[in-house]
Amino acid sequence: MKIVVTLPDNAVHEVTAGSASSLMEILRNAGLPIRAECGGAMACATCHVKVDADWIGKTGRAGNEEEDLLDMSDYRSEFSRLSCQIKLKDALDGLRVTLQLDAFE
């Protein structure tokens, strides 16, 4: 499974999912500069990504608890998600996301 990630500096990286179970783990395992301070416990918003509009239907939108954390971000958009909450599935092959500044290390 391939994921296309744009960093805040507009550098684009294509990463392979491997055996990770969440998008956050994919980004971290690929060595991308994601803060992900709580390690996927959904206790912060430091793995914030913007999902490409064409993909939001496949990832789904943020739930209530996720929305509460995203409300703290200055970079929030209608396509914002916490990457720790995007679980891998075959339908996400080719997913395109942008790492937000508040998640950039």
Tens-place pLDDT, residues 45-95:
999 999 999 999 999 999 999 999 999 999 999 999 999 999 999 999 999
Structure tokens, 3: 């994921």
Give the pLDDT band (50/70/90) at residue 22. Answer: very high
- What pLDDT, on the 0 to 100 scale, is given for residue 20? 73
- What pLDDT, on the 0 to 100 scale, is given for residue 18? 75
Whether domain 2-103 has CATH 3.10.20.30: the reply is: yes
- What pLDDT, on the 0 to 100 scale, is given for residue 28? 95
